[in-house]
A and B are shown apart, each in its own frame.
Chain A
Amino acid sequence: MTSTVYSDKEFDNTGADPTARAPLILGDLDIQGVTDVVAGIPEQPRTSKAWWIAFGISVSLAGMFGLLTAHLIYTGTGVWGNNIPVGWAWPIVNFVFWVGIGHAGTLISAILFLLRQRWRTSINRFAEAMTVFAVICALIFPGIHVGRIWLAYWMFPVPNQMEMWPNFRSPLLWDVFAVGTYGLVSTLFWFFGMIPDLATLRDRATGCIRKAIYGALALGWNGSARHWHRYERTYLILAALATPLVLSVHSVVSFDFAVAVLPGWHTTIFPPYFVAGAIFSGFAMVITLAVPARIIFGLEKLITLRHLENMAKVILTTGSMVGYAYGMEFFIAWYSGNATEGFTFKNRAFGPYAWAYWIMVSCNVIAPQLFWFKKIRSTPWLMLIVCIFVNIGMWFERFVITVTSLSRDFLPSAWGYYSPTLVDIGMLIGSFGIFFTLFLLFLRFVPVVAMAEVKAIMPEAHIHKSSHGEEPAHHA
């Protein structure tokens, strides 16, 4: 592993020179160097103290989540703040929040792959991992919100003698399929992309247990041309199949709200608006994790400033799309001439939940606009701050949509004000514990950067083409 102290100023590849493509892998890294840096992380003989501390905290929080879930199941959903009129509260907010986080991974691995964005290779692996873990966190919430959890399997259309079928007209059932499919395909995609890298770890392994485990996971990969050919064809097909999934999952999640006749929920822009918001929050989470990870593991030459800057631009774009949707909702609420719709939006901005609404607007619409400044989108710690705000804002967006509309609908006598209980708060924090536990395990045991894919965009991979006196460069 390289131990040289690295400074971002030294290797600034964020320039905009139109005559040459900026390099994506920096410094003196060659093919062997990439392997050494990346494979070195899971091969460290001793786990660092920092990892143990972080893992300890995460596991404790995850454990708290487990205990609270037991409390919930034993006592009943009354331990949450959910009550009429707000029957859907934090559990669904957390569900939508986590599904949203899980959108960057597949966008990076599928859509950016089809768009030939080569910079994706440095970040796709851990964005995909993040996706899988976020989907796991997401699925827990509706899973434990069914009341009688021992009947949760009723959600599946089990062909059975019960003569009882799930309600196919309910978007909540569509969710089971949409998120389930997404989780399955994302996991498959993630694991499939990892096979050559797992084989590398197998080949470098010294102990026989390591060799056996990585060997089993590598599925007999031998690096032959035939294997590579099949691998690349399959990757392309998986990417094409996963692309519509990126759109469909959050569209279906948006249907949970938009098919209802509740003011503030029923509006036609919801599907693309939710998808944009999901990508927005997903990329914010990738930056939140990438900025510290690249420093802790010495990955600055692989995950360069340009990678971070590109992600910041995606956040600026999708954040503005979300802002567009907020604006359109407001305009049409007036234009429609529907009194309840108009009231709902005034109530959001100036009613009892105005504080939540303005947190949402500041974090989601205003904060990403800071990325217009080159200085902010090329200074990692500033990006980190903006992205944490985005994460907060996107949680509040779901809170605003769910709670404001339910707490004050058509009948003023049925209005109420929702407050969470300690169990609600504990479970939100606990879900972060689950997420980080899984993520830390991933960092410790699996190659965090797709080594094989990164090598394919390095100059060594195109040696036969650089015969015309141009400087070989790996292109953006």
Chain B
Amino acid sequence: MNVDKMHLLEESVTELPPPLGGRVKAIGFGVGILGLASASVLGYLQEDHYTRFSFSYLIAWAFFLSITLGALFFVTLQHVTRAGWSVVVRRLAEGLSSQALLMALLSLPLIVPLAMGNHALFSWADHGAVEADHMLHHKAPYLNVGFFIARCVVYFVAWILMARFFFKNSLRQDGSKDPALTLRSERGSAPLMFVYAITVTFAAIDFLMSLEPHWFSTIFGVYFFAGCLVSFFATLILTGLWLNSQGVLRGAIHVEHYHDLGKLLFAFNFFWGYIAFSQFMLIWYANIPEETFWYLTRQEGGWITVALLLIFGHFIIPFVGLISRHAKRRTKILAFWAIWLLAMHWVDLFYLAAPALASRLKDGALAAGTLPLGLLDVACFVGVGGMYLAFFAVTMQKKRLVPWGDPRLNESLNFENA
């Protein structure tokens, strides 16, 4: 039923041209090192034992981690469902998911100080606080430094090995075109989905929910997961469009694929809204103080602006903006919404993490309701982002940017939104 369209690939550039890759690497490393260095200096100048730095860094790190985890889910899902349409974009997703290794390295500035007794981020790591607080004492079997680090090791090992498994199979297939490798990935994908669900859930609880260790929500893992998918689809769309603009993969990733990616971006943003609403509405309605305090701090002063920004900017406005077929098929409009939603995803992480900062600083250092925004956030974002970009270019160099040997490659090239 599919016409042979492999010529589309043969006529187009399917590798990252070395000068282009080199330029990306240079810019990425340059900006990354500059960003991280200035972040450390700015963090030192705060004279708060790197507390502000830790929060800003955590938000930036979680932002790029969520893209990576979204990519990992996407790759796994494509194998679970034996998807055909997405083959041409899968290699880029494999490359993004392989940044799990980089994210593990970049987690060291969060984990090493914790291991050395710094409790800038997590109040549960402070022995004095745990002694004085019955609730923290109750949670200590889970929220303690040793177990936390052990869990981090498990998460990163799981994600790195998972990403490697799919990436290696796919790369080996470039040469051999062996369908058995597809079968191998498919067989592995379903059980690995379980590993994914459990690790992502607990990682979200550990790194974000436990910033305010008294608070709890059973849906929190799903909430973080929804954000991962939104940021990933936005990133994938932008990566594809940027490559196309540089003359790479022009015939391969075409408007039909962008249309579908746009639908998924729309759908998962809707899903994010659904999960966010469920969490908020149930806590608001039941009105139990042990849960509502979390939302209450997020309605004080400047935080209400952030909350409203999320409702309108993350959910309602992009919902209207992305609903039409026209918006998803015009690449400029689609790119606009992808950038918009990435920005909103950062705001979302800021909203999750940063309100805990006030309680971690000395009394009065940060008035309640003040948004702790500053150059430090920019420096951390640029620093982690630059490294992410550079390592992504390193991962993709000298490799095909499409799964060249995938048996469903032609099906993907033929794909049309009927």
Contacts and interface: CB of A to CB of B under 8 A. Distances in A.
Contacts of B275: 272
Given A337-B135, A470-B1, A268 B278 contact: yes
A268 B218 contact: yes
A465 B221 contact: no
A272 B222 contact: yes
A192 to B, nearest CB: 19
B179 A17 contact: yes
Interface in A331-375: 332, 335-338, 372
A475 B1 contact: yes
Interface in A287-331: 320, 324-325, 328-329
Contacts of A16: 82, 183, 186
Contacts of A244: 270
Interface residues of B, number: 43
B217 interface: yes
A269 B222 contact: yes
Interface in B45-88: 82, 84-85
A468 B367 CA distance: 71
Contacts of A268: 217-220, 278-279, 282-283
Interface string A77-91: 000000000000000
Interface stretch (B26-34, B91-99, B285-293): B285-293
A251 interface: yes
A260 B286 contact: yes
Contact of A259 (B134, B179, B282): B282
A247 B278 CA distance: 11
Name the residue in B217, B221, B270, B286 with the highest tally of chain A Cβ atoms < 10 Å from its Cβ.
Answer: B286
A267 B222 CA distance: 13
A473 interface: yes
A261 interface: yes
Contacts of B235: none
B336 to A, nearest CB: 23
Nearest to B84: A21
Chain A, interface size category, equals: 35 or more
Interface string B252-288: 0000000000000000001000110011011101111
A19 interface: yes
Secondary structure at the A interface, as helix, strand, loop or mixed, is loop
A177 B138 CA distance: 43
A42 interface: no
B1 A18 contact: no
Interface in A1-49: 16-19, 21
A258 B4 contact: no
Interface string A92-134: 0000000000000000000000001000000000000000000
A324 B200 CA distance: 12
B174 to A, nearest CB: 15
B2 to A, nearest CB: 7
A270 interface: yes
B286 A259 contact: yes
Contacts of B216: 332, 335-336
A440 to B, nearest CB: 35
Given A268-B279, A472-B1, A18 B290 contact: no
A271 interface: yes
B139 interface: yes
Interface of B: 1-4, 82, 84-85, 134-135, 138-139, 142, 179, 182-183, 186, 190, 194, 197-198, 201, 216-222, 270, 274-275, 278-279, 281-283, 285-288, 290, 407-408
10 contacts: A18-B407, A21-B84, A251-B278, A261-B287, A269-B218, A269-B219, A325-B218, A337-B135, A465-B1, A466-B1
Given A18-B408, A255-B282, A270-B282, 18 more contacts: A18-B179, A18-B183, A18-B186, A21-B84, A247-B274, A261-B286, A261-B288, A266-B286, A267-B218, A271-B274, A271-B278, A271-B282, A324-B198, A332-B218, A335-B139, A459-B1, A468-B2, A475-B1
Q: What are the 3 closest A-B residue pairs judged by CB atoms, nearest first? A: A269-B218, A18-B182, A268-B219
Interface of A: 16-19, 21, 116, 244, 247, 251, 255, 258-261, 266-272, 320, 324-325, 328-329, 332, 335-338, 372, 459, 462, 465-466, 468, 470, 472-473, 475-476
